[in-house]
Structure 1
Amino acid sequence: MSHPTPYPVRLADEITRQLGLLADHLAQLPPNEAMQVIARVLDPDDGLLDGVTGLVSVSSTFAKEQAKRGVLPAEVWLALGRATNELDAIGGDLDEHRATLRRVGAQPATTAAKPPAPAPLVVRRRR
């Protein structure tokens, strides 16, 4: 007799599938709608990035306990902790741009007489 797949595993599979669909749609959306999606993904309160960061953080805590019991190598716990820190840093780097994304995403789609001037793609990053 086969064992049914636990709900949390099915949920993780479904979320992964939905993320793929979202990425496919995002690639085809008009700029205004794409900006709305990106702004929601980066929303600091209810956004996807914060949710993923929280999930990796919980995974790190779980891995720590499993490493203490000898079930997982400590390197797994440390890698998840580093991933949590990196995702948190990425969120911090994006904080200053969230308002801009929201503003641009909230603008009605219009056909501008003059297209916006392109921005340079190389920007110095402060650390």
Structure 2
Amino acid sequence: MKKQRPVNLNFSTICFPLTAIISILHRISGVITFFSIGILLWLLGLSLSSPKNFLEVSTIINSLHFKFIAWVLVSTLSFHFIGGIRHLIMDFGLISTTLKTGKISSKVVLGSSILLAILSGVVIW
């Protein structure tokens, strides 16, 4: 028997809970961190290849655009790290996996990652 149900695929009308938003952002930050490691390793290899390339990489690193990119990368890495700690704590059963503790731990992850993003911005600039 085929059920005819309405399907809502308009994501602008769907209101996701905070726990879902944090989970989605954790996955996105993992992808950003994965690809940024490759770019940073390429810059490291380029800087170690010759003194001329070292000076070129040092001018790139001292630019304002790269400082902004570095701030974004450090912020996503810190968010991913804190979110991963949250998942490990919940997986090991150190805190219960109820909706209430999920909301509280999501707020803690969001607040602490915002604090670390501000702190890393101060250190980078």
For this structure pair, what is the TM-score category when the shorter chain's length is used for normalisation? 0.3 to 0.5
**Larger helix share, 1 or 2:** 2
**Quick one: higher RCO (CA 8 Å, sep 6+), 1 or 2?**
2
User: TM (normalized to structure 1)?
Assistant: 0.38
User: TM (normalized to structure 2)?
Assistant: 0.38
